[in-house]
Structure 1
């Protein structure tokens, strides 16, 4: 007898398990079977359809979870320094506060500024590839996530912000621990580790800010420090710390996962690896399809600050919405054969991997640039690159990517 399809509750419960998080896509389809906008208990909606997610992300009556929302849902949240930092940032702000905080950093991520970083990214990538060659010279496997996919985005965002290069490895470990806080209260032990990491990072940031006061430089850290010192109401100390933390963590982890997934897919499909090596124009379409097929960010949330509706479904004030972006990116009504990786698909909408609307990811152009440079360069440098072990995904849901991927360089 065939097994019955899981209920909405059962599918969500499975996403809370390690097995479910390692391969969540069948569970997303089980959730989609209950409708694009499925009611998950009183005052809760889960959204899997592309059009509904796109509309929700752009509806200004649907807010990100800010301090007010945390007060209502988790009254004890203020005891966690990692959550306090997130809610002091542009990521967890709405309306005028979000516009104010975003505008202070946006100049560093404009298309012309990002294009100017191409040579910097290329130089950093080449130095890391030289390091990989030394590590693998004796034939030992090299973990491409630890040695390249993570180090490159940390180096790039560190250069934008103005952080010392020698601290990059520490940044990766610390920021990864803090990023667990985006999963909320699902893992209390991990949340406490995130608090300890945030406390260490705040002390580090405070020392760097003091250095920039004494010795200004042409970086984003200097700019934000000057704004705070000139007008604390425009950028408070808590907001300065929170935004530095978000720019660092969001600026490296999602890009690391994008590069890791892109490489995993290429090595599993050799014709794509060959085209990335040989066709200078192929990387653009390839990276866009990686973003659709294996996005770094799988889920985000909104709550209704006012009554609204989504494609005819009433969303009363106070409703909480879970937007499964990874499911929206595989909506069969918007993408032909959505479970097939196909960089040549034409006419499809842009994936929602970086969000949409007011909270569209500020660093999206930089992430795309890094992946477009990193993947062809890596594959050209090591043309006989091959997996030495099965890649392992990090045990996370909200932000999902590879934790380890040992490779034989074949050089």
Structure 2
């Protein structure tokens, strides 16, 4: 199959539902390929699915994130481009230093009892909803509320606001997909960013009056103490992006991971009480079913990647999910192996823009999965999973199960 045929298939509806055969076909062409017939309106000149190429580019701080034309005119793009996830050094370095100072092991450790309490509450709710063999939507009853409630307490959002917040998260995520750049989706993403900025302004003002133990209180305290260069506007942009990134990826880690785990009943049975296995399962789920499937980086100068020329300021599409199934780095890449040795998955990125919230997501998975299967050893999927249809953030939005509980 020709390279451009593979790309067409990957962006098709079939490819969005199951991109992995297309990634395997890309690997047969090598670690990276030039786009044969690219649009004059696109600066993407190549697509990389090889682990070593993707890893190399993400680790190199000279490769940068390129802002789209006219970004200053859109609220959502202004928000993105004033957050550490989307900016380059030195602004990225300045912003990340502030958050790294407040993402302390103490604050992360304090989340463990919170996660356990939230998980146990949701398991009890699932047991009640699934009594008598009734179907339960695993996403609505577990995969969504667990990270939402945990991140809300971690950051400092009132639980009562989460339903309102989720709608705005969805509007932003829909815009971020490759097919999401429609006028309607742009308008909704702008509305979401505008409303969330006002929401966080009020929260920050409240924490200045009444500080607590949450992340917003810690950030406000650090900023007001002086010695850190971060404006309130930049703080708000980073909080919006941080919650979206950490929360949505964790939802999909759970929903994508459940069908995968249930295909391996021996692993599921061994999970309760085996912390190392739980961590291995989280890592392997993230490798095989990465919530984020691609990123883009622009070249700082004319260069070559595995023999493919890339000009200065031209973009390469980095297929993270493809790299995580590169057979040259992960033997039998389609086989689930929670004790797999080898390089780390790139599910949360690597290098300069490595996801700051990854530790929270992995902690949630490590604590939640053993409790889930201990409570419901007979958990079973009852319908074909319903994927989001997005290739950027790919995940199961509805997943009906029976708990097996009487």
TM-score (normalised: structure 1): 0.90
| Map of 1:334 onto structure 2 | 329
| Map of 2:176 onto structure 1 | 182
Query: The residue matched to 2:285 in structure 1 has which SS?
Result: helix
Query: The residue matched to 1:38 in structure 2 has which SS?
Result: strand
Aligned partners of 2:111 and 2:154 also within 8 Å = no
Among 94, 100, 107, the alignment partner of 2:88 is: 94
| Map of 2:233 onto structure 1 | 238
Deviation at 1:134, TM superposition (A): 2.3
| Map of 2:7 onto structure 1 | 12
Counterpart check, 1:37 vs 2:32: yes
Counterpart check, 1:53 vs 2:47: no
| Map of 1:344 onto structure 2 | 339
Decide whether aligned partners of structure 1 residues 233 and 79 sit closer, same or farther in structure 2, where only a CA change above 3 A counts: farther
Matches within 5 A, 1:9-158: 9-41=4-36, 44-65=45-66, 69-71=67-69, 75=70, 77-158=71-152
List per-residue Cα deviations over 1:220-257 (Å, max 9, x = no partner).
21233355667799223431221010111112100111
- For 1:20 and 1:156, locate their aligned partners in 2 and report how far apart those are by CA, in whole Å: 33
- For 1:220 and 1:87, locate their aligned partners in 2 and report how far apart those are by CA, in whole Å: 22
Query: The residue matched to 1:281 in structure 2 has which SS?
Result: helix
Deviation at 1:372, TM superposition (A): 0.9
| Map of 2:295 onto structure 1 | 300
Report how many residues are paired: 398
Deviates more, 1:137-146 or 1:371-380: 137-146
List per-residue Cα deviations over 1:78-132 (Å, max 9, x = no partner).
4432222111111101011001111111234344542332122111111111222
| Map of 2:360 onto structure 1 | 366
- For 2:249 and 2:312, locate their aligned partners in 1 and report how far apart those are by CA, in whole Å: 32
Aligned partners of 1:176 and 1:253 also within 8 Å = no
Aligned partners of 2:275 and 2:366 also within 8 Å = no
Query: The residue matched to 2:90 in structure 1 has which SS?
Result: helix
Query: The residue matched to 1:338 in structure 2 has which SS?
Result: coil
Query: The residue matched to 1:318 in structure 2 has which SS?
Result: coil
Among 171, 179, 202, the alignment partner of 2:165 is: 171
Deviates more, 1:164-173 or 1:126-135: 164-173
List per-residue Cα deviations over 1:196-219 (Å, max 9, x = no partner).
222222222122122122222222
TM-score (normalised: structure 2): 0.91
Aligned partners of 1:109 and 1:365 also within 8 Å = no
Aligned partners of 1:154 and 1:251 also within 8 Å = no
Query: The residue matched to 2:187 in structure 1 has which SS?
Result: helix
List per-residue Cα deviations over 1:46-104 (Å, max 9, x = no partner).
11111111100011221023xxx323xxx3x3443222211111110101100111111
- For 1:339 and 1:80, locate their aligned partners in 2 and report how far apart those are by CA, in whole Å: 40
Aligned partners of 2:300 and 2:312 also within 8 Å = yes
